Amino acid sequence: MTDWLWEYEGYDPAAERLREALCTLGNGYFATRGAAPECTAGEAHYPGTYAAGCYNRLTSTVAGREVENEDMVNLPNWLPLRFRTIGEGGPDPWFTPDGEGLREHRQQLDLFGGTLERTVRYEDSGGRTLTVRQLRMVHMADPHLAGLRTEFTAEGWSGPIEVEAALDGGVTNSGVARYRRLDGGHLVHVGAGDAADIDGGDGADDVVWLRCRTRTSDIRVGMAARTTVDGAAGHERARGDHEPTRAVQRLRLSLADGRPRTVDKTVALHTSRDTAISDPLHAAADRVRRAPGFDVLLAAHRTAWRQLWRRAALDVPGEAGRILRLHLFHVLQTLSPHTADLDVGVPARGLHGEAYRGHIFWDELFVLPYLNLRFPEVSRALLTYRYRRLEQARRLARDSGHRGAMYPWQSGSDGREETQQLHLNPRSGRWLPDHSRLQHHVGSAIAYNVWQYCEASGDAEFLHTKGAEMLTRIARFWADFADWDPELGRYRIRGVVGPDEYHEAYPDAVRPGLDDNAYTNVTAAWVIARALDLVRDLPEPRRVDLFERTGLEAAELEHWREVSTRLYVPFHHGVISQFHGYGELAELDWEGLRARHGDIRRLDRVLEAEGDTVNRYQASKQADVLMLGYLFSPAELRGLFQRLGYELDDETWHRTVDYYLRRTSHGSTLSGLVHGWVLSRVRREDAWEFCREALEGDIADLQGGTTEEGVHLGAMAGTLDLVQRGLTGMETRSGSLWFDPVPSPELTEYGFTMRYHGHWGVRVAVRPGELRIGLPPSADGLPIGVRLGGRSVVLEPGTSCVLPLPEA
């Protein structure tokens, strides 16, 4: 394998769904899993195509209750292309990898070119061998196009084969086993036909179409396919033979021994969410008809990918570099420059599968820091998705009896709370109440993202308008949500769930929720403080507009100041408490559980299946308190605690890290990432173990069968940011780049290119003992400040500098 190729040799039914997720191709508008075109959905395969922001809501009956869920919709499958040989007695069965005729199976994912190549060899019932080579793309230059080239070669024989190409609208959402009791039939009014049916008949009989709608959101979907054969004789042209839910084209090819024949299938996809179209079906048919041939499309597609890699250049040697490129590939397929034109958020599992129903959580907290310095226009669009749903967040706050904006833990199409009411524990088979909607800290993540984006991009217009309104309304929520405790002499935030997620209530409590989650309280204080800074520093006309729009008054700002300096942070045994009362919980018998169950990453499910609950124990799913060390530099974190009236010295923080490290099951792919980040500054010798786990989380499916349901986009982007900001200690602050690198024995040399305050191609390289930064020439670019330790330099466009690193 090269650094840009991922190869899978052989066919393993048990691993196919994982490979399909990792071989997904996309362009930010839509993505398609890497399933074999001749396969249908089943235990081994799950072809899925998902368009960003395309959701539908259905009601199901679960455990005697009606529950409503909104899902990212599995759209019609454009891949189907099956084939079979024809002998003297008629056609053989259709070839499939699961049949008896498979002799060779190989896949190659080309990250640099954005293509998936597949080679299979089949043997029919008469002993004749057919070699099939396929090349697939989801077009990065034209986001509505995709293509599949299939080359057939007869080995040692000559004769006919039958080929069937189709668009399949009979698909459902059934890719996640634990959701299968829920209604997954999102598509209705499926119809198929030839292009002549809708364009008046212009002779385009190699183009077919399929249309449908989503059941409740009423999104119209139009798909069209053009199937052509190289050197086709008249009788070899594709002919329509449609079924109620499938647009089908059949053709018969004559093969000569050793001479390849090629079938090209070009597909266009439009939905009624698209701009500048009148009808998705006509738009799709017209686009595919006008599309150039496969070779021209492929060249344009590869050019678009080459341009992306230039903007996102990453130079990390060895296996870590290979994995990081794969991670970046999947991030860019989900959130590409095309995303800037869409009203979409960051789906936690990418456009790669149906886990989490395609919902948006807090994962942009781990994704945007990387995009901010490569594709700021994409970050702006993702934050605008949040701004467009600000009014819904305000309604959620009002409905809960509070002011300001309370963003939902899970979001989808319109910003209402999409968190499920019940979730299934696969170990016990029981449906359980889900209280994760109490993770109100998602609002702080959104505010943090606004601030970080504006610091990195210099986008004052966004900060002074949409950003200012989001920040102030989130700050208003926290200031109103906090209540005064006269006994403590502090403000408290009660009835929430922290990032740990395992703890949803106190032992034997009737009501869900916990008091004074440290992460929630500290980040709430940070949000309020930043909102106060922003209000103070706004230009006068902007400040007047903001005050009029939000009804802000001086007395309210004074209350904010008081809350932001008097929020309660619990401690016990010399460490920060995850929440008030955490230190009083029982200790868990970790070794006993591992002896009984082996992998206990999903500790909540293990204990519930035993009739117990994690609420009774000092045990966490993932970083909770330690998330503070991920978001804030050591100096900033000390300052936050000092503002709140607490002393957080290095000894206390290191003791806190050690304490929770021993009590975390790492039941999330984000856990290794955050622990690796934090430990790189606390226990450097242990950091790489967690960094490696973050790198391998998806390729090795460390969470046990979850990656096949969709990649973990936050963890993938977070590993990129680990190199960008974690190891370099880079902060974009006060108009300058601040660096505080931490040595890593496993990664002594690395570099990357970024965009900062309008400067394209800023190059950062770390070598043993030095940090080099270069600013490309710019006709109208301003200099940037660079700070490392006690040294500060001003870098002019077209110059570079080398800064010595302090000894470890």
| Distant-in-sequence, close-in-space partners of 21: CB < 8 Å, separation ≥ 6 | 33, 34, 352, 353, 698, 707, 708, 709, 710, 711
Torsions phi, psi for 664 (to 5 deg):
-120, 135
User: Is 501 assigned a catalytic role?
Assistant: yes
| Distant-in-sequence, close-in-space partners of 129: CB < 8 Å, separation ≥ 6 | 103, 121, 122, 123, 154, 155, 156, 157
**Is 127 in a helix, a strand, or coil?**
coil
Rg (CA), the chain: 28
Q: Yes or no: say if 69 and 358 are a contact pair by the CB < 8 Å rule.
A: no
Alpha helices in 463-588 (DSSP H): 468-481, 518-537, 540-550, 554-566
User: CA-CA-CA-CA torsion for 363, 142, 31, 408, nearest 10 degrees?
Assistant: 30
- Our CA angle for 770, 773, 774, nearest 5°, is 145
Query: What residues pair up with 151 in beta bridges, in sequence order?
Result: 133, 262
DSSP string computed for 406-469: ---SSB-SSSS----SEEEETTTTEEEE--GGG-TTHHHHHHHHHHHHHHHH--HHHIIIIIHH
Q: Yes or no: say if 323 and 329 are a contact pair by the CB < 8 Å rule.
A: no
Closest CA to 625 of 517, 527, 719: 517
The Cα 547–Cα 560 span in angstroms is: 15
Closest CA to 493 of 516, 510, 473: 516
Alpha helices in 347-428 (DSSP H): 364-372, 376-388, 390-399
Q: Yes or no: say if 494 and 516 are a contact pair by the CB < 8 Å rule.
A: yes
- Our CA angle for 14, 17, 22, nearest 5°, is 125
Q: Yes or no: say if 369 and 452 are a contact pair by the CB < 8 Å rule.
A: yes
The single residue of 164, 455, 501, 708 carrying the catalytic annotation is 501
The CB-side HSE value for 144 (13 A sphere, CA atoms) comes to 26
Q: Yes or no: say if 761 and 373 are a contact pair by the CB < 8 Å rule.
A: no
Q: Yes or no: say if 485 and 590 are a contact pair by the CB < 8 Å rule.
A: no
Crossing angle between the packed helical segments 376-388 and 364-372, to the nearest 10 degrees: 140
Q: Yes or no: say if 257 and 156 are a contact pair by the CB < 8 Å rule.
A: yes
Mode of pairing for the β-strands spanning 736-739 and 784-788: parallel
- Residues annotated as catalytic (active site), given as ranges: 501
